[in-house]
Each structure stands twice: as structure tokens, then as C-alpha cells.
């Protein structure tokens, strides 16, 4: 691939140059130099001695909102970027200056079509917080309710679209670098594009809040902020103001007399109910997004990132649990290979052996000593070592379980997630064998079979008509065959030339120098040259079927 075939880099020249300069400053631009683009790395002495993962985090933070979001998304994909980099990227925080009060009012009035004074009895122009995509303001409705108004930054969508376009080009460049191919840059860029474009739509977040409210309408232990659809659009979200103590302030919680151990258990059960009961869960359970309200009520904030578990994914999780329970490494390997995207050269025997070691280590541990987060991290690192790419939904679920255990241990260092998970594990295994589940699976199979039977006759007729008319073609793709054919032809030519030249020499065909045929000598030398060239090419690649 030539650089000129990637127009995204040149389409946004100023921003591209800015990105290359920052990457260079942090010693991350060498790969760009190898493909003929970008400056050489010029990181200072202090930066140069920082770990690679730290430099990546610092560069993303300097590059702004889009790249901060990219880092936050990558922190959920340790199967792609590795556990160490994913853990480092969890520390990325968006410190974005807020828009002016005048600009915020202008955005609200443009979106809602009325002056702010007509919409709210009070509106605080000073933001409570400002993140990468939007900022939050306190307000009060005409009816007296205290609310918060989340407003998207001005022009943020255009800036993000420019950065996403450049990221797509950088991903194409990264695919040209053998050291970066294992990170699957184009797949990461495509997944990030989908995630960020969904997060730009506040209407989606509002719908997710309403679904959580319905799921927990009868649960007094959790409070979901009420959204106000009539005061919300894709760029403005108005919701109920809930107040309490953030979970990250665990020392203040202890001073206020809260039972921290019970809070940890209640919060963990809440999330496990979402994951294994509702199949729809809040995917960002870090301490800043959880409030503790009066009466030990847990309030949740920020519903931009959610996860879903459909019935097929539940079945895959159940099958993996059964394999673990039976200590069956081959069965677990088969589940991983079926669920993930595997490279063609995967060594399944070696994968099964490594999984056997993993299972034997963790299944012998007592429940009280079991480290769920450590086990999940080790499993992800093992999967990544074999270049298996997990679906985004499974990677997100693993990240949520790791974060959940870490958050709960802030309240109670002796907290054990496996102990809380035991009843859910039993329910999942029982549900797997329930008649209702088998009936739904049978209905799915019948639906697929019905669809196949519907299209099969017409497909056969189409093929027969193409055969009868002579229009039926079979297209074969001989991958990697061209170099082998070229070398085979070259070898045959060299052999034929050498044999023919030998005959010329033996028969002393003129013109001659003494008794030696000049044509024979010339042909032999040419054949030897071609043979040496062929030998060098084979020796360089190591195999006949590679360039």
C-alpha cells in the first residue's frame, strides 16, 4: 500500500501534522517513519525512560477528547492491546475546559427551540463537570424539581469526525507495520468509530436510562435518575439531580456510619442482577459513577456505556462455566475458538495445554482466596497470546467484572466476588437445562430451517440455469501460489538453458575460441546466474511459497 492511497492523512493536513508531532514527542512515531511518513521520534530524556504504556496514555491525553475516548475504549479491550496497556489506559481522565455560559445557552436554545429562561426557573452557567463530549450544569424546572442538564460541547461532532477520519488512515498505515498488525488496528478503528458515534447521541443515553428505570422499578435499593424527554435532544439531556456520597469517598462513607461491607455486597448483587438476570447492564462501574444515598440506596450515573447479553451469549457463557466446572480444557478451548475470531495458524493443541494449566491452578483455590480479577486478566492475556480476538460484548463483560471487584474492594478489602457469584452461577446452569430454553432453541432452529427451505429451491434452479446456459463459473483464489509458479518456471528455464548449452559445448558448435563453443559457455554462465538468483530468493524467504 502506498501512502498516496490514504487520502485521510492529507485531507486534514493541519490536524494530521499535530497528531504526528505529539506521537513524535512521546517516542511513538518510529513506525510512521518506516512507512515514509511523519517525523522521527524526538521524546525528551524523561519521557524516553517512561514505560511504553505510560507514553501512550500521555500522548492520548494531550491529543484531546477523541483520543481520550479511544484510550477509554481500548481499556475495555485487553484481548487486543494487552492487560498492561489496558490497565494503564484506565487512568485516562478527560480534563476539558467547559464552554462559556453564553455558548451553552445558545446550544440549549438551538436544540430546544426556546429561551433558557422559558425552560428553567434557574440555570447555573458554571458547569459542575466538563468531560470530553459534554458538560453538566445544575438547573431547576418551573415546577420546582432540581435537575442537571448535560450539554454537548460546541462543534465537538465535527472535531470528532475529523479525528475519526485521520484514525482510519492511521489504522491503514499501521496494518503495513508487522509489529502493529497483531493489534488489529483497522478492526479497533472500526469498533471505536461505532462506539463513539453512538455516544454522541444523548437520545440513546436517555432511552437506556428509561430501560434501567423499568428493570429496577420494584427495587428499593437502587435509584436511576429520571430523564425529561421533553427537555432532551441528541445534544442536550435533562435528568433528575440525585445527591449523595460518591463511592470513591469511602472514608467519608465510613465517617457517616454506612456499613461498607454490606454496601459492597449490595452493589455487587445489583450488577450481577443486571448482567445475569436482565442481560442489560451499566458498563462503567468505576467509583465516580456510583452514589450512596440515604437509606443505603445506590444511585447510578452516566449511562453512555452499557452492555447487552442476548440468549446466545448467555449459552456461550454457560458452556464455558460447565467446561470450567468439569475441568475440561479441550471443551473450554472449543468454546473460545467458536466464540472468538481465531488466526488461521492457531495451534489448538498448545491452547488446550495452556488452558489445562490455567484450570488446574484456579480450580484448586478456595473460594475465600479466589481472585476473580486476576483469573480474568490471566485468561485474557492467554487468549491474546494466541491472537484470538474476542467479540466486543465479551471483552466489555470481562472488563466490567474486573472493575466491579476492584470497586467493591475499595469498600471492603476482603470482598470476594466469586462468593457473590455462586448463586448466579447455579441459576445459569439450571437455566441451561430448562424446558423453556430448549423450546426457544428448537424454535430458533425451526426458523433457520424454514428460511433455508424457502431459499434452497430457487437457489438450485438458478445454478441449473447457469449451468445450462454456460454462464456457471467457479472462481478459485490461489493465495500465495504466484511466487511458487514464478520460481518453478525460472528453475525450468535455467535447467533447459543449462542442458542446451551443455549440448552446444559437447558438439563444439561455432563460433569457437579454440575448441570451446562461445554460445555454449554464454548459455552455461546465464543458467548458473539464474540458478544462483533462484537459490538466493529461496534462501532469503526460507520457503518456496513466500516472496
H or E element in which residue 45 lies: helix 45-48
pLDDT for 184 equals 74
Look up residue 27 and give its three cell numbers. Answer: 517516542
- Beta strand 306-308 pairing with 280-282: antiparallel
**Helix/strand/coil percent split, the chain, to 5:** 60, 10, 30
What contacts 215, CB < 8 A, 6 or more positions away? 274, 278, 280
pLDDT for 487 equals 78
Cα–Cα distance, 283 to 280 (Å, whole number) = 9
In tens, the pLDDT along 75-94 reads 877 777 777 888 888 877 66
Contact 421, 321 (CB under 8 A): no
Q: What is the DSSP letter of 256?
A: T
Burial group, residue 287, by CB count within 10 angstroms (0-12, 13-18, 19+): middle
In tens, the pLDDT along 322-376 reads 787 777 888 888 888 888 888 888 888 899 899 899 888 877 777 667 778 888 8
Contact 163, 244 (CB under 8 A): no
Contact 388, 335 (CB under 8 A): no
Contact 520, 505 (CB under 8 A): yes
Farthest-apart Cα atoms in the chain, separation: 116
Q: Region 292-297: what's the mean pLDDT?
A: 88
DSSP secondary structure string, 133-172?
SEEEEEEEETTS-EEEEEEEPTTHHHHHHHHHHHHHHHHH
Indicate the pLDDT class of residue 547, thresholds 50, 70 and 90.
very low
Indicate the pLDDT class of residue 119, thresholds 50, 70 and 90.
very high
- Phi and psi at 160, nearest 5°, equal -65, -40
Q: Region 168-182: what's the mean pLDDT?
A: 75
pLDDT for 37 equals 57
Q: Where are the domains of the chain?
A: 3-92+158-198, 307-433, 437-472, 481-541
How does the average pLDDT of the chain come out, rounded? Answer: 83
Contact 267, 407 (CB under 8 A): yes
pLDDT for 389 equals 84
137, β-bridge pairs: 149
pTM of the prediction? 0.71
Q: Which among 423, 392, 384, 418 has a CA at the least distance from the CA of 404?
A: 418
In tens, the pLDDT along 5-30 reads 566 666 777 788 888 888 888 887 76
Look up residue 345 and give its three cell numbers. Answer: 495458524
Q: Which among 147, 52, 54, 67 has a CA at the least distance from the CA of 108?
A: 147
pLDDT for 1 equals 46
Cα–Cα distance, 457 to 459 (Å, whole number) = 5
CB atoms within 10 A of CB 106: 15
**Helical residues (DSSP H) of 294-416, grouped into ranges:** 311-325, 329-339, 348-362, 372-385, 392-411
Q: Region 265-275: what's the mean pLDDT?
A: 90
Above pLDDT 70, what percent of the chain? 89
Evaluate if residue 4 carries a pLDDT over 70. no
CB atoms within 10 A of CB 434: 10
- The CA-CA-CA angle for residues 506, 512, 513, to 5°, reads 110
Indicate the pLDDT class of residue 456, thresholds 50, 70 and 90.
confident
In tens, the pLDDT along 512-528 reads 877 788 888 888 888 88
- Buried b or exposed e, range 128-156, using 16+ CB within 10 angstroms: eebbbbbbbbbbebeeeeebbbbbbbbeb
pLDDT for 392 equals 81
Look up residue 240 and give its three cell numbers. Answer: 433528575
Evaluate if residue 98 carries a pLDDT over 50. yes
Amino acid at each position: 500500500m502506498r501512502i498516496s492511497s490514504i487520502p485521510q492523512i492529507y485531507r486534514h493536513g493541519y490536524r494530521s501534522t499535530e497528531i504526528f508531532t505529539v506521537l513524535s514527542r512521546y517516542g511513538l512515531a518510529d513506525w510512521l517513519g518506516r512507512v515514509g511518513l511523519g517525523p522521527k521520534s524526538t521524546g525528551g530524556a524523561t519521557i524516553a525512560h517512561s514505560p511504553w504504556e505510560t507514553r501512550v496514555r500521555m500522548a492520548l491525553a494531550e491529543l484531546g477528547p477523541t483520543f481520550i475516548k479511544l484510550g477509554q475504549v481500548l481499556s475495555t479491550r485487553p484481548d487486543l492491546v494487552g492487560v498492561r496497556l489496558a490497565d494503564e489506559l484506565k487512568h485516562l481522565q478527560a480534563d476539558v475546559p467547559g464552554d462559556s455560559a453564553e455558548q451553552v445557552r445558545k446550544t440549549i436554545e438551538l436544540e430546544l427551540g426556546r429561551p433558557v429562561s422559558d425552560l428553567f426557573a434557574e440555570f447555573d452557567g458554571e458547569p459542575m463537570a466538563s468531560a470530553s463530549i459534554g458538560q453538566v450544569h445544575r438547573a431547576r424546572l418551573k415546577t420546582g424539581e432540581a435537575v442537571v442538564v448535560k450539554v454537548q460541547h460546541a462543534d465537538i461532532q465535527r472535531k470528532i469526525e475529523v479525528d475519526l477520519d485521520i484514525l482510519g488512515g492511521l489504522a491503514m498505515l499501521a496494518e503495513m507495520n508487522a509489529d502493529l498488525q497483531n493489534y488489529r488496528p483497522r478492526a479497533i478503528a472500526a469498533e471505536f468509530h461505532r462506539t463513539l458515534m453512538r455516544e454522541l447521541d444523548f437520545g440513546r443515553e436517555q432511552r437506556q436510562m428509561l430501560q434501567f428505570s423499568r428493570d429496577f422499578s420494584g427495587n428499593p435499593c437502587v435509584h436511576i435518575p429520571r430523564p425529561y424527554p421533553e427537555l432532551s435532544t441528541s445534544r442536550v439531556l435533562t435528568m433528575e439531580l440525585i445527591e449523595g456520597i460518591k463511592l470513591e469517598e469511602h472514608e467519608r462513607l465510613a465517617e457517616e456510619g454506612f456499613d461498607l461491607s454490606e454496601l459492597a455486597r449490595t452493589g455487587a448483587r445489583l450488577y450481577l442482577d443486571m448482567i445475569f438476570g436482565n442481560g442489560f447492564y451499566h458498563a462503567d462501574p468505576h467509583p465516580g459513577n456510583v452514589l450512596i444515598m440515604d437509606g443505603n440506596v445506590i444511585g447510578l450515573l452516566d449511562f453512555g456505556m452499557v452492555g447487552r447479553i442476548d440468549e446466545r451469549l448467555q449459552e456461550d457463557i454457560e458452556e464455558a462455566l460447565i467446561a470450567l466446572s468439569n475441568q475440561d480444557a479441550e471443551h473450554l478451548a472449543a468454546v473460545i475458538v467458536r466464540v472468538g475470531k481465531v488466526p488461521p495458524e492457531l495451534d489448538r493443541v498448545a491452547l488446550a495445554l495452556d488452558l489445562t494449566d490455567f484450570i488446574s491452578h484456579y480450580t484448586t483455590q478456595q473460594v475465600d482466596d479466589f481472585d476473580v480479577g486476576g483469573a480474568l486478566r490471566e485468561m485474557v492475556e492467554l487468549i491474546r497470546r494466541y491472537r484470538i480476538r474476542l467479540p466486543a460484548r465479551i471483552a466489555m463483560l470481562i472488563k466490567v467484572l474486573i472493575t466491579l471487584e476492584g470497586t467493591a474492594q475499595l469498600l471492603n478489602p476482603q470482598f470476594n466476588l466469586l462468593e457473590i457469584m455462586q448463586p448466579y452461577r447455579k441459576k445459569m446452569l439450571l437455566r441451561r437445562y430448562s424446558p423453556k430454553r430448549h423450546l426457544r432453541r428448537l424454535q430458533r432452529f425451526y426458523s433457520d430451517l424454514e428460511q433455508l427451505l424457502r431459499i434452497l429451491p430457487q437457489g438450485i434452479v438458478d445454478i441449473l440455469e447457469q449451468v445450462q446456459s454456460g454462464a456457471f463459473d467457479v472462481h478459485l483464489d490461489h493465495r500465495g501460489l504466484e511466487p511458487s509458479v514464478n520460481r518453478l518456471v525460472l528453475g525450468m528455464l535455467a535447467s533447459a538453458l543449462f542442458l542446451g548449452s551443455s549440448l552446444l559445448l559437447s558438439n563444439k558448435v561455432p563460433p569457437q575460441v579454440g575448441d570451446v563453443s562461445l554460445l555454449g559457455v554464454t548459455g552455461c554462465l546465464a543458467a548458473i546466474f539464474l540458478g544462483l538468483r533462484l537459490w538466493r530468493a529461496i534462501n532469503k524467504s526460507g520457503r518456496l511459497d513466500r516472496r
